[in-house]
Amino acid sequence: MNVRTPAGSAGERVESLTTPSSAALASCLSPGGGSCRTDPAPARFETHGGTQCGIRGSARRYPPGMSSFPTTLPTAPIAAGLFVLSYGVVVASGSRTLGGLVLLAGGAWCARSWQRRNDTRTAAELVGVGVGAFVASHLLGLAIGAWPAVVVAAAGMGAAAWVRADSRGVGLRAV
């Protein structure tokens, strides 16, 4: 075991295990350098593609109760943001086709995430909600204007994605 004292840590010691093969990977896996290893590590080490990398300088600090940051992104803000982003692309470029492609690509990513995290039925339901929100935004746009209709559709889609898919992953349930 190689024990080192990080610079500026007032004597705090950080333990790290290094091997010749993993030490060679340190420069490409850890932006600040440090020692890399492939065996299980305590929470003070970052994970990069299955390899544990210690941080040079001081141990990584995470919020209380967390050993690392979440690895999955919530889909609700992404699904909602897709409506706003795709319409923004339409307005900026003048191409409805380009905006549709942005919405289609993002919707496919969300559908795949929903299927992986939940099941095919949940993914199909949320894709149906997305298509319904898309149609509703066009109809609502005639009454209240394009941007307000897009924001309403985005809010509906985000709420549906949170209730049906994302809240289950973090242990919260909508009432």
How many other CB atoms are found less than 10 A from the CB of residue 74? 17
Mean pLDDT (whole number) for 66-84? 81
pLDDT band at 25 (very low <50, low <70, confident <90, very high): very low
114 pLDDT more than 60? yes
Residue 173 in domain: no
Work out the burial of residue 59: count CB atoms within 10 Å of its CB; fewer than 13 is exposed, 13-18 middle, 19 or more buried: middle
Say how many domains are in the chain.
2
Average pLDDT, the chain: 74
Cα–Cα distance for residue pair 36/25, rounded to 1 Å: 7
Mean pLDDT (whole number) for 41-61? 49
CB 80 within 8 A of CB 155: yes
Give the SS3 label for residue 12.
coil
What is the per-residue pLDDT for 73? 84
Both 113 and 155 in one domain: the answer is: yes
Percent of the chain with pLDDT over 70: 55
Handedness of CA 51, 52, 58, 59 (dihedral sign): positive
In terms of residue numbers, what domain contains 130?
76-166
What is the per-residue pLDDT for 141? 96
Both 97 and 138 in one domain: the answer is: yes
13 pLDDT more than 50? no
CB 72 within 8 A of CB 169: yes
Both 82 and 123 in one domain: the answer is: yes
Residue 172 in domain: no
Q: Which has the higher per-residue pLDDT, 174 or 153?
A: 153
Residue 13 in domain: yes
What is the per-residue pLDDT for 71? 60
Both 92 and 162 in one domain: the answer is: yes
Mean pLDDT (whole number) for 34-53? 47
Mean pLDDT (whole number) for 101-124? 95
Sheet bearing 36-37, strands edge to edge = 36-37, 51-53, 46-48
Residue 35 in domain: yes
